[in-house]
Structure 1
Amino acid sequence: MNRTAKIEFELEPNEDGFPPIGSESLHAIPREDGSFILDNTPFFVTEVALGDRIAADRILDSENKFAFSHVLEPSSAKSISIIFLVKELEQSIFDNLRDRGCYCEFAEFRALRMLAVSVPETCDYGALRAYLEEHEADETISFAELAV
């Protein structure tokens, strides 16, 4: 059995063209029962988080790519996505989230500088959300709760 797989999630852009991609691929670990454990955090996909056990169907003519079907068992992690509106604050926000125990991943999608954040159960989510809301009110970030 392969050690990792890619799970494809179809995305439906809204009238403003967001998200800026038509699908997102997440790494997953195959299990013997045919399910998968998500092994990274989404930037756009809603309703899934790091560590979720999911069902997916093999994509034809592909050895290690699968199409997401549904969540079988959610993990205790939460997923949020941040778009940076002020470049100079990226590192301090990243450091703050890591200090809270969050796993963070940077990426750029068509000039959008973004952070995918996995929030562990041990993090005080109320305090984290208040911190993000302050930055959003200051128009330094925009954030979305993808799976909470």
Structure 2
Amino acid sequence: MTSPVKVHFHLEQDEDGHPPVAVESLWAEPSAKPDEYVIDNVPFFVRDATIGDTVRVREKDGHRWFDGLVSRSQNSLLRVVFFDRECVETVSERLVAMGCSTEYLREHNLMAVSIPISVNLTNVQAYLQAETDAGRTDFEEPILRQG
């Protein structure tokens, strides 16, 4: 059994300094081909790939760096920022109950959400829009692969 590895992604920051990091590292599993890995966690800032995607890497300075997308999974990626931190757990529980995977980064008050093809993306978007309309959150949709 092979061990997961970190794949590093260079991130371009905008004039407002977003994202707040210049590099994000994602866990990945080796694929059948050399220099190709399957992303194994939900990204907080990366916009090029999400969980389940196969990526090509290049080695530099002892690290594996993202070098391109080989094949896309059917997973969509959303991110939620919280204006009301009291609802983080409630939102996460609701999304997980809908069939999504979530990860929360307290330091940046940001939740990354993976939506598999088996989950109705429209329902997830409607729920998050209701939370946004109520002033508790806002969300972005960096990778949409269904609907």
Report the TM-score when normalising by structure 1. 0.90
1:26 aligns with 2:26: yes
| Structure 1 counterpart of 2:67, from 59, 63, 69 | 69
The amino acid that maps onto 1:145 is E
Identity across the alignment (%): 28
Task: Tell me the residue number matched to 2:99.
Answer: 101
Shift >3 Å, 4+ stretches: none
Aligned to 1:87: 85
Residue in 1 that maps onto 2:124:
128
1:9 is matched with 9
User: 26-35 or 94-103: which moved more?
Assistant: 26-35
In the alignment, the residues of structure 2 paired with residue 9 and residue 50 of structure 1 have an alpha-carbon distance, to the nearest angstrom, of 14
Q: Output aligned runs, 1:37-52, within 5 Å.
A: 37-52=38-53
Q: How many residues align?
A: 143
**Shift of the alpha carbon at 1:2?**
4.7
What is the rounded CA distance, in whole Å, between the counterparts of 1:80 and 1:121 in structure 2?
Answer: 13
Given that residues 24 and 44 in structure 1 are in contact (C-alpha distance below 8 angstroms), is that contact kept between their aligned partners in structure 2? yes
Unmatched segments (≥5 aa) in structure 2 = none
Query: What is the rounded CA distance, in whole Å, between the counterparts of 2:127 and 2:2 in structure 1?
Result: 40
- After superposition, give the CA deviation of every residue in 1:98-133 in whole Å (9 maximum; x if it has no partner): 001111111133xx2111111111111011111111
Distance 2:88 2:106 in 1: 12
Structure 2 counterpart SS, 1:132: helix
Given that 1:48 and 1:146 are in contact with CA atoms closer than 8 Å, whether structure 2 keeps it comes out as: no
Q: Does 1:53 align with 2:54?
A: yes
Instruction: Please report how far the alpha carbon of residue 59 of structure 1 lies from its aligned counterpart in structure 2 after TM superposition.
Output: 2.1
